[in-house]
């Protein structure tokens, strides 16, 4: 046993009381879907956890109709402070059930329990607390006095942070006075169904939040539904593009949070041990299934060898295995499809001449796993420097001057995140100013806070989530009474003019 061999420390699943089948959550109740049900499995064992319903177009109609009724009859009529009370209640229930949610998320998604326990679930509660506070302060959201909600929001989310993405979507929508139909990703519906139970516990009025499960066709039917007013999508750029096309020409408001290929830039004056921790956190957190991952390391040429040596030493200490074990750093890859994509792009990296390295680590027999991997000798033309791999794979490039670092960092169709490691504040500010990325971390990486807006440029999407900006995405300016009167009079039928030669009767 080496000094880093730990005895197994698995979190117990005894506190979970899961059902064998989950229905759709529509109008405050669980109801079976009319599509073909599918299984949700643990990616660490490939064993079935539960069966999940699939919503067909008629179910989508029902869910949107329930959201519309709830919008018209209850939610849009509540005061902001009353809406806020529901959100505070949801936040507290998330905290009360935090351990259960963390275990369920690790089981269903494959991510390590120490991340669901210390990052995902606390942030979910924080998001609801934060937007609960906004619900009665919408005048300050930046869209003018007395802003109006939009109506019914259709929200579609991915599998990498199932519960957290749900919170990013639902909390601001409700605070702003909208009702919601949300579709989780098909491989990670479990915690959304537990969240539906929390909504029942919180006594949220029926229909304010509806959760429908299913695959891409369910998502498509939802975003194309004529009675939704807002579409909020987080997922791949390809699907985001298709949604943008389908929403174009309608009056639906749209926000898109898409892919990324973030640059993590390390200058020669950076504190190297801290930078190495930041590189690890940037690309191996959540198995690299992170849209804003620092998946391209740009390291100044003079310190390249030292950084890579220390990085390899640190990577040897990463523990891959059972997501429910409290010592696990790298859990399971979420699905067989995602594993195939990571393998394919990594093989292409080797074929194109990059040098591949992974620490020795035992890969469990069942389940989907990929050892943490770095590629050195990568050039900007390599696929692994351009395409989003969405796995625990780092591509290392070098630069000599700040100008070269900026040019290389911006040489991507994406623009979601970047990191800068340097001892000099002035250099950090000067470089950050020239990077085309929605979020830039300095001497840290992958830090999230509900008060901080998050979103991208270029093919990373448009619109912002989090902070005041995330709230404004669910609001529209109210029409002032004088403007409303003018609009009404211009819309009224014109008074008939008297025929020529006749006097108007008084």
**Binding interface with ligand NAD (CB under 6 A):** 156-160, 183, 185-186, 215-216, 219-220, 223, 234-236, 239, 242-243, 257-260, 291, 388, 390, 416, 456, 460-461
Question: Maximum CA pair distance of the chain?
Answer: 110
DSSP 406-464: HHHHH-SS--SEEEEE-S-HHHHHHHHHH---SEEEES--S---TTS-B--SGGGEES-
Catalytic residue among 11, 186, 291, 465: 291
What stretches of 2-97 show up as alpha helix (H) in DSSP? Answer: 57-73, 80-96
Identify whether the C-beta of residue 124 lies closer than 8 Å to the C-beta of residue 168.
no
Query: Least distance to ligand NAD from the beta carbon of 148, Å?
Result: 26
Contacts of 450 (CB under 8 A, 6+ apart): 123, 126, 127, 129, 130, 131, 171, 466, 467
What's the min distance (Å) between Cβ of 485 and ligand NAD?
Answer: 40
Catalytic residue among 11, 105, 115, 257: 257
Residue nearest to ligand NAD (CB): 219
CA distance 410 to 418: 10
Q: Least separation, in Å, of the C-beta of 180 and ligand NAD? A: 15
Q: Is residue 291 flagged as an active site residue?
A: yes
Closest approach, Cβ 230 to ligand NAD, in A, equals: 14
Shortest distance in whole angstroms from residue 446 CB to ligand NAD: 12
Q: By C-beta, is 89 or 169 nearer to ligand NAD?
A: 169
Minimum CB–partner distance for residue 72 and ligand NAD (Å): 26
Measured in Å, how far apart are the chain's first and last C-alpha atoms?
A: 106
User: Given the complex with ligand NAD, which of 88 and 448 has the nearer CB atom?
Assistant: 448
Q: List CB contacts of 316: < 8 A, sequence separation 6 or more.
A: 359, 360
Which lies closer to ligand NAD via its Cβ, residue 166 or residue 270? 166
Q: Which of 164, 130, 121, 380 is nearest to 257 (CA)?
A: 164
| Secondary structure class of 486 (helix, strand, coil) | helix
In the block, tokens 């299984």 appear at 39
Residue 179 or 255 with smaller CB distance to ligand NAD: 255
Active site residue 337: no
Choose between 160 and 179: whose C-beta lies nearer to ligand NAD.
160
Q: Closest CB to ligand NAD among 215 and 348?
A: 215
Q: Are 286 and 111 in contact (CB under 8 A)?
A: yes
Q: Cα–chain-centroid distance for residue 331?
A: 19
Residues annotated as catalytic (active site), given as ranges: 257, 291
């Amino acid at each position: 046993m080496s000094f880093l061999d730990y005895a197994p420390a698995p979190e117990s699943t005894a506190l979970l009381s899961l059902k064998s089948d989950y229905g759709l959550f529509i109008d405050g109740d669980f109801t079976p879907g009319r599509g073909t049900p599918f299984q949700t499995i643990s990616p660490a064992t490939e064993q079935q956890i539960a069966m999940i319903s699939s919503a067909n177009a008629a179910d989508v109609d029902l869910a949107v109709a329930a959201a519309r009724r709830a919008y018209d009859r209850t939610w849009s009529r509540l005061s902001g402070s009353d809406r806020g009370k529901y959100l505070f209640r949801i936040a507290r229930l998330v905290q009360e059930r935090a351990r259960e949610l963390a275990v369920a998320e690790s089981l269903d998604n494959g991510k390590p329990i120490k991340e669901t326990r210390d990052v995902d679930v606390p942030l979910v509660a924080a998001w609801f607390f934060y937007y609960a506070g906004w619900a009665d302060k919408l005048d300050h959201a930046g869209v003018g006095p007395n802003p109006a909600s939009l109506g019914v929001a259709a929200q579609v989310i991915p599998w990498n942070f199932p519960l957290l993405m749900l919170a990013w979507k639902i909390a601001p929508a409700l605070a702003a006075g909208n009702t919601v139909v949300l579709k989780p990703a098909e491989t990670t519906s479990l915690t959304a169904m537990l969240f539906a139970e929390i909504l029942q516990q919180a006594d949220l009025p029926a229909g304010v939040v509806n959760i429908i499960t299913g695959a891409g066709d369910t998502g498509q039917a939802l975003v194309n539904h004529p009675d939704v007013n807002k579409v909020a999508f987080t997922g791949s750029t390809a699907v985001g593009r298709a949604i943008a096309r389908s929403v174009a020409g309608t009056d639906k408001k749209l926000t898109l949070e898409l892919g990324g290929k973030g640059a993590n830039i390390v200058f020669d004056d950076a504190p190297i041990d801290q930078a190495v921790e930041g590189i690890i956190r940037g690309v191996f957190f959540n198995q690299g299934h992170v849209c804003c991952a620092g998946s391209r390391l740009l390291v100044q040429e003079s310190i390249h060898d030292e950084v890579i040596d220390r990085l390899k030493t640190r990577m040897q200490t990463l523990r891959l295995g059972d997501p429910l074990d409290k010592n696990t750093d790298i859990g399971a890859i979420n699905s067989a499809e995602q594993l195939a994509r990571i393998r394919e792009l990594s093989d292409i990296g080797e074929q194109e001449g990059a040098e591949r390295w992974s620490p020795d680590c035992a890969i469990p027999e069942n389940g989907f796993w990929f050892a943490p991997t770095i590629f050195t000798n990568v050039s900007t033309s390599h696929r692994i420097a351009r395409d989003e791999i969405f796995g625990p794979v780092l591509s290392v490039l070098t630069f000599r001057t700040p100008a070269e670092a900026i040019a290389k960092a911006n040489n991507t169709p994406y623009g979601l995140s970047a990191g800068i490691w340097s001892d000099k504040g002035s250099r950090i500010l000067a470089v950050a100013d020239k990077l085309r990325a929605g979020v830039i971390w300095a001497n840290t990486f992958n830090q999230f806070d509900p008060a901080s807006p998050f979103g991208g440029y270029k093919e990373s999407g448009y619109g912002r989530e989090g902070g005041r900006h995330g709230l404004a995405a669910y609001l529209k300016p109210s029409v002032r009474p004088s403007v409303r009167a003018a609009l009404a009079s211009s819309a009224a039928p014109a008074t008939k003019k008297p025929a020529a030669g006749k006097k108007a009767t008084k």
